Amino acid sequence: MSAQKSDNRRHEDGNYPCPQCGTPQVETVQIEETFDHGGRKKPIRVTARLPIKHCRKCDFSFEDWKTEEARRRAACAQVGVQSPEEIRGIRKAYGLSQKAFAQLTRLGGATLNRWERGHLIQNGAYDDYLYLLSFPENLERLKNRRRFGEQSDDKRFQCLRPTAEQRRQASTFRLTAASRPPVSEENRGGRTDKVEATADGSAAE
């Protein structure tokens, strides 16, 4: 994924000298490892093949960021959710910062950051949400909803202040409280006063 290229990673594969003997002849080998990943409330036990570095000269083995990334990817795969790189890829495809993406999607900025770094594994519902966000038309819908939401808030606020015409209509229907239903013709008899007397809207006997 192209998103990874812009990350601040100084070491490319094969550029490490051996930390023990200093030789540049270091290879990547796959090892199988069982580990506990702490990205959920309960640690997840994962068995996966992981890349580690191995010195051909002195036989020393060591890990790098790719080993750790592979652990996180394997833990996400076991849970059945997208990996940290995939989440980062969704956001970066829109050219948005973590802050901007978190604001638009209402995902907490700190939470998004933890997901992208693999320190926290998202639950299934959030994973589905992230999946839907990967479709540009859905992000567009969300943007429209935000815009519409702002407008409708204004409208709602205006509705709280009745216009002169609304007051005139209300008096026509003898409405003095917003929640009281109009009294129909057949109920205008002796029961009307009793019905109106109850505060909770139920008919008084």
Residues forming the site for Zn ion (CB under 5 A): 18, 20-21, 55, 57-58, 60
Q: Which is nearer to Zn ion, 54 or 191 (CB)?
A: 54
Minimal distance in Å, beta carbon 60 to Zn ion?
5
Q: How far is the CB of 14 from Zn ion (least distance, A)?
A: 14
DSSP string for 182-193:
PPPGGG-STTHH
Query: How crowded is the C-beta side of 154, counted as CA atoms within 13 Å?
Result: 5
Q: Which is nearer to Zn ion, 24 or 162 (CB)?
A: 24
Query: Hey, how many other C-beta atoms are within 10 angstroms of the C-beta on 151?
Result: 9
Nearer to Zn ion, 18 or 112 (CB): 18
Least CB distance to Zn ion at residue 22 (A): 7
Q: Residue 146, Cα to own-chain centre: how many angstroms?
A: 16
- With respect to Zn ion, which residue has the nearer C-beta, 1 or 58? 58
Q: Contact 197/190 with Cβ under 8 angstroms? A: no
CB of residue 122 to Zn ion, shortest distance in Å: 39
DSSP state of 53: E
